[in-house]
Chains A and B, each alone.
Chain A
């Protein structure tokens, strides 16, 4: 299972996350910083809600006409001299890339950051085939060096690590002997990576958005590593999720602008690269060969379902950056390379409920994610939709809960029964109450009282008071 991280249970992972004080402090700081920067970027742009609506319309239109635009994209890539491969599964995608590597007798492959290659475990597949794969995004580079520690955030993959931990990793693995100053650490990584770029036979990148009308791909980075990875090696392979495209450059403009603002609060990142196939005669640099691998891996099963809008995601992580659950448990608790609200929606869709059944419940449904999403994915509603599938279709919820909800439905639709329940509550709970407070509740109430006091029901309910008052009784 490629998206899934490790075998620990959800509760174990959460406990581990909660007890990691350093990680939590870093996440809190990052959320605070990004919250301010994004709010500023929204204000600077102006009319943020209108831009969101436009972005939502662009994504909806593209997904509604996905077959048309994919065909157009594919035709234009070929026209530009590139190759296109549609991979239905992770295995097919990896197989295709391995074949190119074999044909090119590639020993070293340099990569820029790509979540879809994480999703299909491409590095692992290539390493098994004997290639050396080097991540060139600084965060990914650090994680790879640290025994392939999985990413905990889709934009800032090494968010859970501090500079001292990074210094130690560099020292142990690469003989680094300087301080934990970010500038020195980065300088060291640059020097190391420069050599790797020069030696690489193949460059593999993701694709932020492909542009159907011109058969181009675009890459958005702050480090410029994607630009080097696509210009130095002789072969460039771009791997994209099949939904990551726009009809024309006009829509690209809108979505890149929304992506940069939502992800890091920047108008534009330092590098936004548009590439249209291999180098042409007279070009000074660029790859001789270009391959675009379009990955389905479960996406087409989402089309036409209540979850289709999940495919609108542009991977900006704005939902993760505002999520109060992510804030306290961190990315690894989700047990998937896609964490946070979008991860809780996507992981069960792409990989099934079996491994990700707890994720739809890892949300208080506060809707901060829905509010933050630049393409208006109703994330908290999709989490409820998952719960609905689990409760009513898969029937995987605990039997006690099912009966309780049936009882609830019955009581909430019959006032007599409802009143009886409300009336008897004070008596049922009275053995647990002391001075109007319940400190140790029975049954399902225990989850509540483990953490906080529960109020004992009042003897006179509001409705009794109101009735008496109408009669001219007590007030």
Chain B
């Protein structure tokens, strides 16, 4: 199956390693990777801040960029959810709305794609460690994908998964929220870090680079010894 990869800004610039694991993981499961070079950003920063005219520009560009794709896969529940917001964003431009719907229908978050489309539950990964998983808000609530990451992680050989207390609570990222309301965001991420520590896990796994950048950045600032991994990195782990 041919898969068009939407890498997301954060993975492209800050976490290229995540992208490499996504490519290897998908290739190992028989996918051919297409990377449309014209891709930019999904437009969420502008959309969430209320600048919908500017967000529309990003949306239209991304619709064009991925129009040829059979399936679009992205290692972020949040950016995938933004693609699915395009039809509503462009609801008053009929032709664009139709094209937006087509894109929305063929867009998948990485684990969603592996589990729901390729019907994979075991990626053959091996990672002897104890870990806890942070459920990202947009992935669980906007995309509605609550199962796929757990199904895939439960079959990683050697991995002990510990339940994160209050896992339903946001980590405090929220894009510009982390900058605009930094004192509130700080309280939120601190409680998340406390919950992670409570599990005594060695690794924090997440499926969104935004959340991981937030929680990881706070843990680094507080010198916490917890290792942070994107789920693609875990699912692509091999015995060394």
Residues of chain A at the chain B interface (Cβ within 8 Å): 11, 14-15, 18, 32, 35, 322, 324-325, 327-329, 361-368, 370-371, 384, 386-392, 397, 401-402, 405-406, 408-415, 418, 422, 425-426, 437, 439, 444-445, 447-448, 450-455, 457-458, 460-463, 465-467, 469
Number of B interface residues at 8 Å Cβ cutoff, please give it: 68
B197 close to A (CB within 8 Å):
no
Q: Is the CB of B49 within 8 A of A452?
A: no
Smallest CB-CB separation from B41: which chain A residue? A412
Name the contact of A412 in the complex, choosing from B15, B61, B168, B184 (C-beta under 8 A): B61
- Stretch of B98-106, B124-132, B213-221 contacting A (4+ beta carbons < 8 Å): B213-221
Tell me, rounded to whole Å, the shortest Cβ–Cβ distance linking A263 to chain B.
19
Tell me, rounded to whole Å, the shortest Cβ–Cβ distance linking B238 to chain A.
15
Smallest CB-CB separation from B137: which chain A residue? A366
Q: Is the CB of A425 within 8 A of B221?
A: no
B121 close to A (CB within 8 Å):
no
| Residues in chain A near residue B181, CB distance under 8 A | 14, 325, 361-362, 364
Q: Is the CB of A387 within 8 A of B48?
A: yes
With contacts A368-B141, A455-B213, A462-B11 taken as known, whether A363 is within 8 angstroms of B51 at the C-beta atoms is no
Tell me, rounded to whole Å, the shortest Cβ–Cβ distance linking A368 to chain B.
7
Smallest CB-CB separation from B64: which chain A residue? A413
B154 close to A (CB within 8 Å):
no
With contacts A391-B49, A405-B46, A412-B40 taken as known, whether A324 is within 8 angstroms of B182 at the C-beta atoms is no
Smallest CB-CB separation from A450: which chain B residue? B182
User: CA separation between A465 and B145, bound complex, in Å?
Assistant: 30
Q: Is the interface of B mostly helix, strand, loop or mixed?
A: helix
Name the contact of B49 in the complex, choosing from A18, A387, A418, A425 (C-beta under 8 A): A387
B3 close to A (CB within 8 Å):
no
Pair count A-B, CB < 8 A = 210
| Residues in chain B near residue A35, CB distance under 8 A | 168
Q: Is the CB of B137 within 8 A of A325?
A: no
User: CA separation between A156 and B186, bound complex, in Å?
Assistant: 26
Q: Is the CB of A455 within 8 A of B49?
A: no
Q: Contact flags (1/0) for B45-74 with A, using CB distance below 8 Å? A: 111111111111110110000000000000
| Residues in chain B near residue A406, CB distance under 8 A | 51, 54
B117 close to A (CB within 8 Å):
no
B189 close to A (CB within 8 Å):
yes
With contacts A366-B170, A415-B37, A457-B14 taken as known, whether A18 is within 8 angstroms of B50 at the C-beta atoms is no
| Residues in chain B near residue A426, CB distance under 8 A | 13
Within 8 A of A (CB), among B167-191: 168-170, 172-175, 177-189, 191
Q: Is the CB of B46 within 8 A of A408?
A: yes
Name the contact of B57 in the complex, choosing from A361, A363, A409, A447 (C-beta under 8 A): A409
Residues of chain B at the chain A interface (Cβ within 8 Å): 7, 9, 11-16, 18-20, 23, 35, 37-41, 43, 45-58, 60-61, 137-138, 141-142, 166, 168-170, 172-175, 177-189, 191, 213-214, 216-218, 220-221
User: CA separation between A389 and B49, bound complex, in Å?
Assistant: 10
With contacts A364-B172, A364-B188, A437-B220 taken as known, whether A463 is within 8 angstroms of B35 at the C-beta atoms is yes
Q: Is the CB of A422 within 8 A of B179?
A: no
| Residues in chain B near residue A467, CB distance under 8 A | 37
Q: Is the CB of B48 within 8 A of A415?
A: no
| Residues in chain B near residue A409, CB distance under 8 A | 43, 46, 51, 53-58
| Residues in chain B near residue A447, CB distance under 8 A | 178-180, 182
| Residues in chain B near residue A454, CB distance under 8 A | 213, 217
Smallest CB-CB separation from A391: which chain B residue? B50
User: CA separation between A364 and B175, bound complex, in Å?
Assistant: 8
With contacts A328-B184, A367-B141 taken as known, whether A462 is within 8 angstroms of B16 at the C-beta atoms is yes
List, sorted by A's number, 30 A–B pairs whose CB atoms are closer than 8 Å. A18-B183, A324-B170, A327-B191, A328-B184, A361-B177, A362-B181, A363-B174, A364-B178, A365-B175, A366-B170, A384-B50, A386-B50, A392-B51, A397-B49, A401-B49, A408-B41, A408-B46, A409-B57, A409-B58, A410-B57, A412-B46, A422-B9, A451-B182, A451-B189, A451-B221, A452-B221, A453-B217, A455-B213, A458-B15, A463-B37
Q: Is the CB of B46 within 8 A of A325?
A: no
| Residues in chain B near residue A361, CB distance under 8 A | 177, 180-181
User: CA separation between A158 and B184, bound complex, in Å?
Assistant: 22
Q: Is the CB of B16 within 8 A of A461?
A: yes
Tell me, rounded to whole Å, the shortest Cβ–Cβ distance linking B195 to chain A.
12
User: CA separation between A365 and B52, bound complex, in Å?
Assistant: 16
User: CA separation between A457 and B58, bound complex, in Å?
Assistant: 22
Q: A364-B178, A388-B51, A425-B13 are in contact. List 7 more A-B contacts (CB 8 A).
A: A391-B50, A402-B51, A408-B51, A422-B9, A451-B189, A452-B189, A452-B214
Q: Is the CB of A413 within 8 A of B40?
A: yes
Q: Is the CB of A367 within 8 A of B138?
A: yes
Name the contact of A466 in the complex, choosing from B23, B186, B218 (C-beta under 8 A): B23
| Residues in chain B near residue A368, CB distance under 8 A | 137, 141, 168-170
Smallest CB-CB separation from B170: which chain A residue? A366
| Residues in chain A near residue B187, CB distance under 8 A | 18, 328-329
With contacts A371-B141, A454-B217 taken as known, whether A465 is within 8 angstroms of B20 at the C-beta atoms is yes
